[in-house]
Amino acid sequence: MSFLVTLALGIAAFAAAPLIAHLLRRGKAREQPFPPARLVPPARSLARESRRLDDRLLFAIRAALVVLLAVLGATPLVQCSRLSVERASGASVALAIVLDDSLSMRARLPSGDTRWERAQSGALELARSARRGDALGVVLAGRPARVLVPPTTDLDSVRRALSDLKPTDRGTDLAGALRMAHSLIAELPQRDKQVALLSDFAVEPLGEAGPAFLAPLPELATKVDDCGIVSAERRGARVEAAVACTSASAATGRSIEALGSDPRMGEPTSGSALGTAALAPRGGTQVLSIALPAGREALGVRLTGSDALEHDDTGSVGREAAALTIGVHADPSRASPSTGGRTLIEQALQALGGDVAVRPLAVLPEDAKELSAFSVLLLDDPTGLGPEARAALDAWLARGKVAAAFLGPRSERVQLGSTLEPFAHGAVRWEATRVPGLDPESLAWLGPEAVALADIRPRGRSLLEGADLPGTKVRGRFQDGAPFLHAREQQRGLVLTFALPTSADESDLSLRPAFLALLDHLLEVARERAGPSRSEPGTAWRFPASSRAEVIGPGGTLPITEATRAEGERVFTPELAGRYRVTTSEGTEERTVVLDPLELTTEPRAPSETRQAAGRAASSPGVDVSPEVVLVLLGLLGIESALRIARLVPRLRRRVEREERIAAE
Amino acid sequence: MTIRDAIDWGRLAPLRLKASTLADGVYAGAHRSLRRGAGVEFGGHRNYVPGDELRFLDRHARMRHGLLLIREFETETDRALRLVVDASASMSFRSERAPAAKYAYAALLAAALARVALARGDRVSLDFIGGERTLGLPSTGGREAFERIVGHLETARPSGAATRVDLETALAPSLRYARRGTAVIVLSDLLDLPDGAPELVAGLSASGRSVIVVQVLDPVELTFPFHGPIALAALEGDTRVETDAAAAQGAYLEALEALTRAWESSVVARGGKLVRAGTHGDPVEAVRRVLEALSRAREGERRQR
């Protein structure tokens, strides 16, 4: 408690002043010489009684006024369970609220509220405690992290946005959300910058290093028992379901049932189960196979029993998922490491893991049907594409595929009748270079790994300047400013052109972790663009603006997330797990959104003490009750004024009567 | 402290000048002055005794009945003015709203009345009820009388409680020397006079005297403008009343009215008049009302006779 606060509270001692003044005055009635005193009837007790009530009321009001003034001076000392913005120096604050809207936040706490309800109300309390001059921003930590409200001093808009917010089935990206939050407020003029993280911390530990944050609601990290259906797919006459449980106790005595209807789509599930399978009493993810009766089709699955999170106890049965197939056209003699084995691209793709299948292509297919099996096509140091191959590639790209070419020394030796289109226009010259590497800032969209590309020591590079086709954008550059990566939309597809091959003889590009990040980003783009049959909540589905697109899922028809992108895309982002029907100009397809098993199996854990150190004061937040105190003060002043007027009016009336009587006499 | 300082004259000082101005503003024809002229009123017969002036011998009775009868007359020129001023302590009271103390106001009225009477050739006497340095003035007239009366009024200092002895002492000269037709004007607040005072004063009305009681009150005494709890101390005696002003106001005003009515009924029953004057009021109007009351009292006394 600061000296000023103590001093302000000391004012409360003056609450006794009205009492002392009252006691001093009480015993002495004003003495007045009055010759006809014997004609005046004594009425001492009556006079005292009549004043006692008024005096007590006035005394109470005045004492309350003094106490409230003391509280007003000491604000924000007052403590209560409500969250509020902590002000170290009383000045304006730049506050980024990171609100976890992942699936695990739907869990119900022992108190009866869900984690989401508590976190949302906490965020609203923080927003309501902000004053004029404060800047507030909101970042959502459901994967991928995104900005809900950029920093603004329009506090009402922040409150409205928070009030309208709904939880999602997304995974959690706390680290990304924290980085985003800090970058949001870094440039704001307010000296006091804070990040309040409202999450259950059901993620991998954030680590000791990194920007500090406040975690004002530690109760969100309370552990609960939960089992949830991660995914369910048809596999012939069976349904294969992945179920994730937080602990053995959560799985004990529970089973999964296959249903003839889809509860996620709101269809009734009153009928008997088509099949069932018991859960093994253990935590973690387990895959169960449910046999279906002949001729029956299962549309949904359901877990028996109950737990803290009912929302994930049902699931949709999707069609058999196809892995993301990637075709790699590379010369093993040039693109493989000196130790032999598969090409560096293939090894990198395998290292990424996940649901991908890599197929090497010795020759580029010249028929679009042959390409249709691929979602991504990677060409390493191609020598050109013939007319048939280009036509097949164009048709394939029109279906929302992704093609990438890593141009190398062979790109300037394009064979007769072949071109590098759609990757580059005309012949691309290869030159020797002494540039140390790439410009990390131009590749910042890759994340922190981009820094490693600054020193890849290329021996040569393809000159992409002048080779760009209409609509090409530069997404990365060398340190001397020459383009490294061209990106171009071609109908629904995306064409990427790199100025370096993957060969380790030409550069260290494929040997750096950033190469994995580059490929991972490329696959992510491919998933978004091609619209895999199975994706996680929060994955954007992109369609050309010129194409008709409608997406109907568990929550009804999905709204368009971003309709005015420069690329002219329609973007849909499913937030809920379940089966979706996607209707475009090219037909109707079914897509399934499944949960992240880590979101279910990762237990909440207390955040790092070190990273919370800077915000420890917020765990017992001071509440600025100035507006309320001022209102009460005004109310008391009004009451006192009314009392005084009530006393004054009859006095004035008597005075007027006396004046009239005197005048009459 | 000078004698002058003992009285709160307020805006009524100097008394001499104020009284002269006041008298000039008053209608001077309130009563007839018949010292000079034929205004002789027959008063009856009595037997002749040696020594009577022969000019009063009734010649017609002697010739008609053979009796020696003396005609007696009552002359209106003998209507002297007797002023009795209350100089008890209560008369020294002056509130913030009053221009001067009650005694000062009463003295102003007395001096003005004296000047009016002297201007008509009437004789004026002055007596005090209680007080200090009070010096009565026997019936006197002429140019010097007004100066002497003003001097005596200024010299007096209101103090102490008025006892019955004080009252009888003040009224005794009037009882003894005032003849039929004499006007006796008592100026007092009537508040702390001894028991039986109304009857004593009203008794002056006997023998054809006209009694006018002028009740001089401060505006505070007239209205009781206090509020809240208050302690009131009388100036005479040790009366101290603690009360709630709002609750006591009505009862006080009623009591004051009752006191005034008691005085009025006593005085009026004997042919006198009671005039109430507030010290905040116009003294010219007050003097005029006193003179009118005197005129009405004399008229009533004449008709009664």
A48 to chain B: which residues are within 8 Å by CB? 229
Judgement on whether residues A503 and A436 belong to the same structural domain of the protein? yes
Cβ contact, residue pair B219, A31, below 8 Å: no
The answer to whether the bond into B14 is cis (omega within 30° of 0) is yes
Q: Is the pLDDT of residue B42 over 80?
A: no
The confidence score (pLDDT) of residue A169 equals 92
Asked if the structure places residue A296 within a domain, the reply is no
Q: Is the pLDDT of residue A311 over 70?
A: yes
Asked if the structure places residue A236 within a domain, the reply is no
Nearest by Cα to A374 from A572, A529, A236, A497: A529
* Best residue in A26, A28, A32, A39 for a mutation probing chain B (most B CBs within 10 Å): A39
> Whole-angstrom Cα distance, residue A370 to residue A359?
12
The confidence score (pLDDT) of residue A155 equals 87
The confidence score (pLDDT) of residue A602 equals 85
Going by the DSSP 8-state scheme, the letter that residue A102 receives in this structure is B
| Minimal CA separation from B83 to chain A, in Å | 23
As to burial, measured by CB atoms within 10 angstroms (0-12 exposed, 13-18 middle, 19+ buried), residue A570 is: buried
Cβ contact, residue pair A661, B219, below 8 Å: no
Radius of gyration, CA atoms only, chain B = 22
Query: Angle at which helices A44-74 and B245-269 pack, to 10 degrees?
Result: 150
Judgement on whether residues A66 and A134 belong to the same structural domain of the protein? no
| Minimal CA separation from A58 to chain B, in Å | 15
The confidence score (pLDDT) of residue A501 equals 92
A587: left (phi over 0), alpha (psi -120 to 50) or beta: left
> Whole-angstrom Cα distance, residue A578 to residue A593?
5
What's the whole-number mean pLDDT along residues A105-113? 89
What's the whole-number mean pLDDT along residues B264-291? 90
> Whole-angstrom Cα distance, residue B205 to residue B24?
29
In angstroms, what CA-CA distances link A515 with A144, A158, A447, A522, A562? 21, 39, 12, 10, 29
CATH of the domain at A204: 3.40.50.410
What's the whole-number mean pLDDT along residues A329-350? 84
Asked if the structure places residue A286 within a domain, the reply is no
The confidence score (pLDDT) of residue B240 equals 87
Tell which B residues from 114 to 153 touch A, by Cβ distance under 8 Å: none
Phi, psi angles (nearest 5°) of residue B93? -70, 135
- CB contact at 8 A, A315 and A578: yes
In angstroms, what CA-CA distances link B132 with A289, B128, B214? 128, 9, 21
> Whole-angstrom Cα distance, residue A144 to residue A177?
8
Q: Is the pLDDT of residue B41 over 70?
A: no
Q: Is the pLDDT of residue B190 over 70?
A: yes
Confidence band of B4 (pLDDT split at 50, 70, 90): very low
The answer to whether the bond into A167 is cis (omega within 30° of 0) is no
Q: What is the pLDDT of residues A494-522, one digit of tens each?
A: 899 999 999 888 888 888 888 988 888 88
Q: Is the pLDDT of residue A77 over 60?
A: no
Other residues' Cβ atoms within 10 Å of the Cβ of residue A396: 22
Judgement on whether residues B60 and B172 belong to the same structural domain of the protein? no
The residue ranking higher by pLDDT, A478 or A490, is: A478
Cβ contact, residue pair A658, B223, below 8 Å: yes
Judgement on whether residues B261 and B227 belong to the same structural domain of the protein? yes
Percent of chain B at pLDDT exceeding 90: 29
| Minimal CA separation from A22 to chain B, in Å | 14
| Minimal CA separation from B95 to chain A, in Å | 9
> Whole-angstrom Cα distance, residue A356 to residue A341?
19
Range of A4-18, A533-547, B68-82, B179-193 with top mean pLDDT = B179-193
Confidence band of B304 (pLDDT split at 50, 70, 90): low
Judgement on whether residues B104 and B174 belong to the same structural domain of the protein? yes
Asked if the structure places residue A555 within a domain, the reply is no
Q: What is the pLDDT of residues B51-79, one digit of tens each?
A: 777 888 888 988 888 888 888 765 544 57
Judgement on whether residues A156 and A35 belong to the same structural domain of the protein? no
What's the whole-number mean pLDDT along residues A197-214? 80
CATH of the domain at B191: 3.40.50.410
Which chain B residue has the Cα nearest residue A41? B248
> Whole-angstrom Cα distance, residue A87 to residue B145?
92
Judgement on whether residues B62 and B86 belong to the same structural domain of the protein? no
Given B23, B50, B75, the domain boundary residue is B75
Asked if the structure places residue A467 within a domain, the reply is yes
| Minimal CA separation from B276 to chain A, in Å | 9
The confidence score (pLDDT) of residue A404 equals 93
Asked if the structure places residue A573 within a domain, the reply is no
> Whole-angstrom Cα distance, residue A259 to residue A292?
10
* Best residue in B243, B253, B256, B261 for a mutation probing chain A (most A CBs within 10 Å): B243
A662 to chain B: which residues are within 8 Å by CB? 219, 222-223, 278, 280
Q: What is the pLDDT of residues A592-648, one digit of tens each?
A: 888 888 888 888 887 766 666 544 434 445 556 677 777 888 888 888 888 878 877
Judgement on whether residues A111 and A64 belong to the same structural domain of the protein? no
The confidence score (pLDDT) of residue A205 equals 76
For chain A, how many residues are written?
665
Tokens of B127: 């007596």
Confidence band of A317 (pLDDT split at 50, 70, 90): confident
| Minimal CA separation from A60 to chain B, in Å | 20
Judgement on whether residues B61 and B171 belong to the same structural domain of the protein? no
Cβ contact, residue pair B233, A41, below 8 Å: no
Q: Is the pLDDT of residue B31 over 60?
A: no
> Whole-angstrom Cα distance, residue A53 to residue A58?
8
Average pLDDT, chain A: 82
Cβ contact, residue pair B234, A38, below 8 Å: yes
The number of helices, as runs of H, and strands, as runs of E, in chain A is 15, 28
E strand segments, A399-440: 402-406, 430-432
B227 to chain A: which residues are within 8 Å by CB? 651, 654
**H helix runs in A75-208, sequence order:** 115-129, 155-163, 174-186
Asked if the structure places residue A503 within a domain, the reply is yes
B226 close to A (CB below 8 A): yes
The confidence score (pLDDT) of residue A49 equals 55
Judgement on whether residues B117 and B163 belong to the same structural domain of the protein? yes
Which chain B residue has the Cα nearest residue A663? B281
* Best residue in A25, A32, A38, A40 for a mutation probing chain B (most B CBs within 10 Å): A40
Judgement on whether residues B152 and B50 belong to the same structural domain of the protein? no
The confidence score (pLDDT) of residue B7 equals 62
Q: Name residues whose C-beta falls within 8 Å of residue A137's C-beta, 6 or more positions apart in sequence.
A: A95, A96, A97, A147, A149, A150, A151, A152, A158, A181, A184, A185
Given A530, A550, A568, the domain boundary residue is A530
- CB contact at 8 A, A592 and A533: yes
Cβ contact, residue pair A31, B231, below 8 Å: yes
Alpha carbon of residue A301 to chain centroid: 29
The residue ranking higher by pLDDT, A339 or B73, is: A339
The confidence score (pLDDT) of residue A103 equals 92
A650 to chain B: which residues are within 8 Å by CB? 246
- CB contact at 8 A, A389 and A417: no
In angstroms, what CA-CA distances link A249 with A302, A362, A564? 18, 52, 49
H or E element at residue A58: helix A44-74
Query: Angle at which helices B283-304 and B15-25 pack, to 10 degrees?
Result: 60
Judgement on whether residues B54 and B188 belong to the same structural domain of the protein? no
The confidence score (pLDDT) of residue B39 equals 41
Nearest by Cα to A302 from A342, A275, A330: A275
Q: Is the pLDDT of residue B28 over 70?
A: no
Judgement on whether residues A102 and A19 belong to the same structural domain of the protein? no
- CB contact at 8 A, A127 and A136: yes
| Minimal CA separation from A45 to chain B, in Å | 8
Domain count along chain A = 3
Tokens of A548: 């008709």
Judgement on whether residues A70 and A169 belong to the same structural domain of the protein? no
| Minimal CA separation from A27 to chain B, in Å | 11
In angstroms, what CA-CA distances link A1 with A6, A74, A615, A628? 7, 10, 17, 22
Confidence band of A81 (pLDDT split at 50, 70, 90): low
- Which residues, listed in sequence order, are joined to residue A143 by a DSSP beta bridge? none
HSE value, Cβ hemisphere, 13 Å, CA-based, for B258: 9
Asked if the structure places residue A43 within a domain, the reply is yes
The confidence score (pLDDT) of residue A664 equals 73
Q: Is the pLDDT of residue A44 over 70?
A: no
Domain count along chain B = 2
Question: What is the residue range of B162's domain?
Answer: 3-31+79-304
The confidence score (pLDDT) of residue B300 equals 78
Question: What is the residue range of A108's domain?
Answer: 93-223+612-624
What's the whole-number mean pLDDT along residues A12-24? 71
Cβ contact, residue pair B232, A44, below 8 Å: no
Judgement on whether residues B147 and B60 belong to the same structural domain of the protein? no
Cβ contact, residue pair B248, A41, below 8 Å: yes
B222 to chain A: which residues are within 8 Å by CB? 661-662, 665
Judgement on whether residues A142 and A50 belong to the same structural domain of the protein? no
Judgement on whether residues B265 and B126 belong to the same structural domain of the protein? yes
Average pLDDT, chain B: 82
CATH of the domain at A482: 3.40.50.880
What's the whole-number mean pLDDT along residues B181-208? 89
H or E element at residue B115: helix B102-119
Judgement on whether residues A46 and A130 belong to the same structural domain of the protein? no
Judgement on whether residues A214 and A340 belong to the same structural domain of the protein? no
A51 to chain B: which residues are within 8 Å by CB? 228-229
Judgement on whether residues B17 and B122 belong to the same structural domain of the protein? yes
Q: Which range has the worst mean pLDDT, A22-31, A56-65, B79-88, B172-181?
A: A22-31
Judgement on whether residues B170 and B49 belong to the same structural domain of the protein? no
ipTM: 0.80
Judgement on whether residues A619 and A650 belong to the same structural domain of the protein? no
The residue ranking higher by pLDDT, A4 or A505, is: A505
- CB contact at 8 A, A479 and A443: no
Other residues' Cβ atoms within 10 Å of the Cβ of residue A355: 12
- CB contact at 8 A, A329 and A377: yes
Give residue A228's identity as a one-letter amino acid code: G
> Whole-angstrom Cα distance, residue B113 to residue B275?
14
Judgement on whether residues A619 and A635 belong to the same structural domain of the protein? no
Judgement on whether residues A122 and A66 belong to the same structural domain of the protein? no
- CB contact at 8 A, B231 and B241: yes
Tokens of B47: 């037997």
Given A530, A561, A594, the domain boundary residue is A530
B86 close to A (CB below 8 A): no
B206 close to A (CB below 8 A): no
> Whole-angstrom Cα distance, residue B88 to residue B86?
6
Q: Is A240 helix (H, G, I), strand (E, B) or coil?
A: strand
